[in-house]
Amino acid sequence: MVDETIKILERQREDLVVRMLKKHEEVEASRSFTERVLSGIAELLLVVDQNFTVIQASREFYAKTGYPEVARFPLSLDQIFDQQTAAKIREGFAASEFAEFEAQLQGKMARLPIKVRGSTHVTPNGLTLHMLICSDCSEFYELMDRLREGQKQLIHSSRLASLGEMTAGIGHELTQPLNAILLFARNGIKALEKPEPDLDLLRKNLEVIVDRVNKASSIINTMRSFGRKAEEELYPVAINPLVEKILQFLEPQLRIGEVQVATEMAPEGCTVCAVEVRLEQVLLNLIQNGIQAMGKVAAPQLVIGTRVVKKVNPETMRREPYVEISIKDNGHGMDDEERKKIFDPFYTTREAGTGMGLGLSIVERIVRGFCGYIEVDSTVGGGSCFRVAIPQTRNLSGSQKTEAA
């Protein structure tokens, strides 16, 4: 009887050992399978328990962050996210749906910009597990930075090209004061060589020289401000003085082309929040295009106006006051097909070799960046009218920023 009992116990022990070995093999196989799955995932995957302690992570997570494996060094949610982000993740898991959001993941050496998604699973044993899927956005943001820098360089190059087109007129403007300075300086020397110097004549010559030097300095300062790279900070910009500044800069080119300019400026309210250098580029490009479009017109006329209108702001989706700048010429105009393509990159209506077709494409990007609109009306032989609308700035408590010459 005892022997039979011992045999039964031995068989039960053997069965128990076999079941334990099988269970161990299943657990190991499951763990191996999980590790293989995690190693093949390109995302930064984290599995955290109900206490928000990391219990497993993908190989990509360790590679990007530099953290040691959690099996050897425990890692909590608060160690890899700031307090606000960690709280937002906890709230997301507590809610019925985890909304995707952008955050910063704290690595051992640096922070990573990521997009965070999450889901919750409950095991058959009642264990709650949270999964965090973090998409690394570093390359995307680096690409966007390079694109922005490239756009800045392109805009700057376009401004320099505009300066190049001004060379003939600016050269003429500088030659006149320099010749005057030379002439009156020689007159002053002759006045000093007389036995009784004419001090009144000498004073008048010196006053003319000072006036001509100031004129030349003004021309150079205007060129310097137009050659400056754009800043990124937005601040209130008064449109009417800006238009006058650009027309002063283009005055030699307008005189050479015998272009008559008329302005129809609204008396007040024409202030926008923008980057002045970029806005200069927009208006300079549009005005120069109008001048070039009137190259074969007998009596070229340019009409520039400003007014306040109501338009829908794409950010707020409400009708708000906008400052509209219109630039109208009586040039050759465009047909419907040309007008549809006028803002496309590399499209140009000029003769081959006289333009790259990037000016209006850049102009549109700048205006859209200020939540603005740009429109054009044109008919063949009837000229063109470009209208740029930018949200009006109503809070002008701070002083308007101006660029140093």
- Range of weakest confidence among 134-148, 306-320, 326-340, 352-366: 352-366
Kindly state the average pLDDT of the residues 220-242: 71
The pLDDT of residue 11 is above 80 = no
Fold for 40-136, please state it: Beta-Lactamase (3.30.450)
Look up tokens 């608060």; give the residue. 78
Q: Which CATH number fits domain 139-229: 3.10.180.10, 1.10.287.130, 1.10.357.10, 3.90.1200.10?
A: 1.10.287.130
Selection from 278, 279, 274, 266 nearest residue 371 by Cα: 274
Given a contact cutoff of 8 angstroms between Cβ atoms, the answer to whether 371 and 391 are in contact is yes
pLDDT confidence of residue 208: 77
* DSSP-derived 3-state class of residue 96: coil
Question: Of all residues in the chain, what percent carry a pLDDT higher than 70?
Answer: 71
Q: Which CATH number fits domain 232-405: 3.40.50.150, 3.30.565.10, 3.40.50.1100, 3.90.1640.30?
A: 3.30.565.10
Give 285 or 145, the one with higher predicted confidence. 285
Q: Which residues pair with 313 in a beta bridge?
A: 318
- Here the tokens at position 37 are 């799955």
pTM beyond 0.75: the answer is no
Give 323 or 30, the one with higher predicted confidence. 323
In angstroms and rounded to an integer, the radius of gyration of the C-alpha atoms of the chain is: 36
The pLDDT of residue 354 is above 50 = no
**What are the residues whose beta carbons fall under 8 Å from the beta carbon of 276, sequence distance 6 or more?**
235, 237, 242, 401, 402, 403
pLDDT confidence of residue 251: 82
pLDDT confidence of residue 91: 86
Average pLDDT along the chain: 76
The kind and range of the H/E element at 27 are helix 2-39
Give 40 or 393, the one with higher predicted confidence. 393
94-133 pLDDT, tens digit each = 887 788 888 888 888 778 888 888 888 887 777 788 888 8
Q: How far is CA 46 from CA 80, 93, 104, 106, in A?
A: 11, 14, 15, 14
pLDDT confidence of residue 292: 86
The pLDDT of residue 167 is above 70 = no
Residue 395: exposure state from Cβ atoms within 10 A (0-12, 13-18, ≥19): exposed
The pLDDT of residue 143 is above 80 = no
| Longest CA pairwise span in the chain (Å) | 153
Residues in the chain: 405
Kindly state the average pLDDT of the residues 24-34: 48
The top-scoring range by mean pLDDT among 10-24, 191-205, 379-393 is 379-393
Under the banding of pLDDT at 50, 70 and 90, the label for residue 405 is very low
| Location of each CATH 1.10.287.130 domain in the chain | 139-229
Query: What span, in angstroms and rounded, lies between the C-alpha atoms of 69 and 74?
Result: 8
Ramachandran area for residue 282 (φ above 0: left; ψ -120 to 50: alpha; else beta)? alpha
Question: Of all residues in the chain, what percent carry a pLDDT higher than 90?
Answer: 16
Given a contact cutoff of 8 angstroms between Cβ atoms, the answer to whether 337 and 316 are in contact is no
Give 92 or 14, the one with higher predicted confidence. 92
| Location of each CATH 3.30.450.20 domain in the chain | 40-136
- Range of weakest confidence among 6-10, 193-197, 281-285: 6-10
To 5 degrees, how large is the angle CA 312–CA 367–CA 268? Answer: 70
Kindly state the average pLDDT of the residues 275-301: 87
| Location of each CATH 3.30.565.10 domain in the chain | 232-405
Kindly state the average pLDDT of the residues 318-345: 87
The pLDDT of residue 42 is above 60 = no
